[in-house]
Amino acid sequence: MSDEQPRKKVRLTGPDESASTSLPEFDPVAAQLDQEKNAGITVFASQAAGFGGIVKKRYTDFLVNEISTSGTVFHLDELTGPAIKAVKKVEKDAEAEEKSAQADEKEKASAAPKPEPVVVKEAPKQDNAEAAIKERIEEALASVCSLD
């Protein structure tokens, strides 16, 4: 490797023959008209001059600090007012309605008739099995007849 510095590139054009490095002039009106034409907008509803603007989309675009005539800056540090009060009232009403519905359900559950306990009889002995079966059939028939 040599310790020589790399040589500069040789200029191919002279000072009079310099290549044009300037960009063509940008005409914002022409660019806007081209965009509108590409989108199919060729005629406007009125001859009035239009207006421009910037579309806001971040929450920081909408932060506002009020300034009094004396120059004092006011900052929003609590949320109160008719809209906030209305929201809180609706939330309280919904909560009260939910509690009332839960209380009604508990009341209905306690007032509902409780099912009668099931009585389990001992299995009949081998020798009286036939009599026990007849007895159970009669009980079942009696309960079915009493339901009608």
pTM metric for this prediction: 0.26
User: Residue 55 in contact with residue 47, Cβ under 8 Å?
Assistant: no
| Both structure tokens of 126 | 């081998």
Span 103-121, pLDDT tens digits: 888 888 777 677 777 777 7
4-38: per-residue pLDDT in tens? Answer: 666 666 666 666 655 556 667 888 888 888 998 99
